[in-house]
């Protein structure tokens, strides 16, 4: 099984290696991972503007992956830039981290909270819940108080505090980590701290794990997105052909 990680930000060795290690850690045996970054865009996704800049190349990279015989693509950003358009352009599964994590939250509890880096991203997170059809089950969005590039284990105490408030004050039953890079040791630490404070288990969803396992599952079952929902654009329209950056 070959899965392509499409990273919608500019390449850096540290970032690419971090993403590769996080996905490899949760990939099943026999899964071959490859990784590509956009050639034009931003260093991080922290606004609708950043999302828009990433979309054309994300769609192009997904097209290239299908042409190479890749079985599925994962867009490694909670904002899922270009995911809907990419699904129109290809037949292989295209998984966005945000969609995967929010859908998983719906299976594990009635209401969920999204933990994001900064308050400026609250509108984007509410939009994500709406696009997935889960806005009515979104209890709240809360911030870790750090930028995307600074989001690390140092943020765990603040995340635990905000997650506890989301459960006690907002009625959340599941916590969704709304930023790539929150995997590794972070999620287990948050889950354990919440269990100690609340006296009950509260699932904390890592979007990397959710996206990886959904991609694997779709490939294993031979399923992909509906081409009624995501019809292929007219082939005669040349603007649908992307040039390499």
Q: Do 2-96+209-240 and 99-207 have matching folds? A: yes
80-91 confidence digits (pLDDT tens):
999 999 999 999
CATH number of 99-207: 3.40.50.12500
Q: How far apart are CA 59 and CA 244, in angstroms?
A: 11
Look up the CATH number of domain 2-96+209-240: 3.40.50.12500
pTM for the whole thing?
Answer: 0.89
What beta strand segments (E) does the chain contain? 2-10, 32-38, 72-75, 94-96, 112-116, 138-143, 174-177, 204-205
Domain boundaries, the chain: 2-96+209-240, 99-207
Q: What is the pLDDT of residue 151?
A: 62
pLDDT in tens, 108-118: 999 999 998 77
């Amino acid at each position: 099984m070959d899965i392509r990680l499409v990273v919608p930000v500019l390449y850096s060795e540290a970032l690419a290696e971090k993403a590769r290690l996080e996905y490899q850690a949760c990939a099943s045996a026999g899964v071959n991972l490859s990784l590509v970054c956009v050639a034009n865009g931003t260093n991080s996704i922290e606004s609708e503007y950043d999302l828009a800049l990433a979309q054309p190349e994300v769609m192009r990279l997904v097209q290239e992956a299908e042409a190479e015989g890749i079985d599925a693509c994962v867009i490694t950003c909670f904002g899922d830039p270009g995911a809907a358009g990419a699904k129109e352009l290809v037949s292989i599964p295209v998984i966005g981290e945000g969609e995967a994590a929010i859908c998983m939250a719906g299976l594990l509890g009635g209401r969920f909270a999204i933990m994001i880096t900064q308050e400026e991203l609250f509108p984007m997170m509410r939009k994500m819940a709406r696009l997935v059809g889960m806005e009515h089950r979104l209890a709240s969005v809360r911030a870790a108080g750090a930028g995307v590039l600074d989001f690390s284990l140092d943020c765990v105490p603040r995340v635990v505090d905000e997650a506890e408030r989301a459960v006690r004050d907002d009625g959340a039953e599941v916590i969704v980590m709304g930023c790539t890079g929150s995997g590794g040791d972070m999620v287990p630490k948050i889950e354990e701290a919440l269990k100690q404070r609340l006296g009950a288990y509260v699932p904390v969803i890592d979007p990397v794990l959710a996206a990886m396992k959904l991609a694997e599952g779709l490939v294993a079952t031979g399923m992909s997105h509906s081409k009624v929902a995501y019809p292929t654009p007219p082939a005669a329209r040349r603007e649908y052909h992307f040039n390499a950056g």
